[in-house]
Amino acid sequence: MSLDSVVTKELKRVLDSYISDDVEVDKILERPRNSSFGDFSFPTFSFAKIKRKSPNEIANEIVELIDKSLFKEISIVNGYINFSVLREKPSQDLLSLVNKEKLNFANNDFGKGRNVTIDMSSPNIAKPMSMGHLRSTVIGNALSNIEKKCGYNPIKINFLGDWGTQFGKLLAAYKMWGDKEKVEQDPIENLLKLYVRFNKEAKENENLNDLGRAWFKKLEDGDEEAKSLWEWFRKVSIQRFEEIYKDLDIDFDLYDGEAFYNDKMGAVIDTLKEKKLLKVSQGAQVVDLSDEGFENPVLIIRSDGASLYTTRDLAAAIYRKKKFNSVKSIYVVGSEQKQHFDELKSVLNKMGYEWAKEIVYVPFGLITFNGKKLSTREGRVVLLNDVLDKAYKLSLKQIEEKNPTLDKKDDVAHQVGYGAVVFHDLKNDRMENFDFKLDEVVQFEGDTGPYVQYTNARSQSILRKSQELNISVKDYKNIFEEDTAFAIIKLLDQYPTIVKQAEKNYEPSIIAKYSIQLAKSFNHYYKNVRILVEDDELYTRLQLVKAVSYVLQDSLSLLGIKAPEQM
Ligand code: ARG
* 204: phi then psi, degrees, rounded to nearest 5: -95, -25
DSSP line for 345-411:
HHHHHHTT-GGGGGEEEE--PPEEETTEE-BTTTTB---HHHHHHHHHHHHHHHHHHH-TT-TTHHH
CA-CA-CA-CA torsion sign (105, 106, 110, 113): negative
SS (H, E, C) 495-521: HHHHHHHHHHHCCCHHHHHHHHHHHHH
Q: Is residue 331 in contact with ligand 1, taking CB distance under 6 Å?
A: yes
Q: In the prediction, which pLDDT does 306 show?
A: 84
Tell me how far the alpha carbon of residue 4 lies from the centroid of ligand 1, in angstroms.
Answer: 43
Distance in Å, CA 130 to ligand 1 centroid: 12
- CA–CA gap between residue 62 and residue 41 (Å, rounded): 13
Instruction: Tell me whether residue 486 is in a domain.
Output: yes
Number of other CB atoms surrounding residue 422 within 10 Å: 29
Q: In which domain, by residue range, is 403 found?
A: 384-558
CB atoms within 10 A of CB 463: 16
DSSP 20-67: -S---HHHH-B--SSGGG-SEEEE-GGGHHHHTS-HHHHHHHHHHHS-
Distance 209 CA to ligand 1 centre (A): 23
Q: How far apart are the first and last CA of the chain?
A: 36
- What's the pLDDT at 38? 96
pLDDT at 359: 98
The answer, yes or no, to whether any atom of ligand 1 lies below 6 A from the CB of 364, is no
117 Cβ below 6 A of ligand 1: no
User: Cα separation of 194 and 171, whole Å?
Assistant: 9
Q: Are 125 and 242 in contact (CB under 8 A)?
A: no
Decide: 124 in ligand 1 pocket, CB within 6 A.
Answer: yes
Q: Are strands 434-436 and 367-369 parallel, antiparallel or unpaired?
A: parallel
What is residue 373's predicted lDDT score, i.e. its pLDDT?
A: 75
Domain boundary among 69, 86, 103: 86
* Residue closest by Cα to atom 6 of ligand 1: 122
Residue 237: CB partners within 8 Å, gap ≥ 6?
Answer: 123, 125, 126, 127, 162, 187, 188, 191
Domain ends where: 86, 121, 151?
86
> 294 in a domain, yes or no?
no
Instruction: Establish if 474 belongs to a structural domain.
Output: yes
Q: 439: buried, middle or exposed (CB in 10 Å: 19+, 13-18, 0-12)?
A: exposed
Half-sphere exposure of 440 (CA within 13 A, CB side): 9
Q: Give CA–CA dist 304/301, Å, rounded.
A: 8
- CATH of residue 440's domain is 1.10.730.10
Report the b/e string of 371-410 with b at 16+ CB within 10 A.
eeebebeeeebbebeebbebbbebbbebbeeeeeebeebe
Handedness of CA 526, 530, 533, 539 (dihedral sign): negative
* The residue type at 31: R
Burial group, residue 464, by CB count within 10 angstroms (0-12, 13-18, 19+): exposed
Does 324 reside within a domain?
A: no
Distances (CA, A) of 248 to 236, 425, 483, 528: 19, 13, 38, 36
Question: CA-to-CA distance for 409 and 398, rounded, in angstroms?
Answer: 11
Give pLDDT, residue 317.
98
Residue 543 counted as domain residue: yes
Total length of the chain: 567
pLDDT for 377 equals 62
pTM for the model: 0.94
Residue 197, domain member (yes or no): no
Residue 343 CB less than 6 A away from ligand 1: no
Question: Separation of 159 CA from ligand 1 center, angstroms?
Answer: 6
Last residue of a domain, one of 55, 86, 117: 86
Strands across the sheet with 278-281, in order? 278-281, 284-287, 298-301
- Interval between CA 333 and ligand 1 midpoint (Å): 7
Q: Whose CA is nearest to atom 11 of ligand 1?
A: 313
- Is 362 inside a domain boundary? no
Q: How many whole angstroms from 160 Cα to the centroid of ligand 1?
A: 7
Count of structural domains within the chain: 2
Q: CATH number for the domain including 39?
A: 3.30.1360.70
Question: CA nearest 117: which of 325, 344, 256?
Answer: 325
Instruction: Report how far residue 283's alpha carbon sits from residue 442's, in angstroms, rounded to the nearest whole number.
Output: 52
Confirm whether 504 is domain-assigned.
yes
Taking the chain (567 residues) in runs of 10, the rounded mean pLDDT of each run is 92 92 90 93 94 95 96 96 97 98 98 98 92 93 98 98 94 96 91 94 94 92 96 94 93 95 95 96 95 93 90 97 97 96 97 97 88 67 78 91 92 94 94 81 82 97 97 96 97 98 98 98 97 98 98 98 96
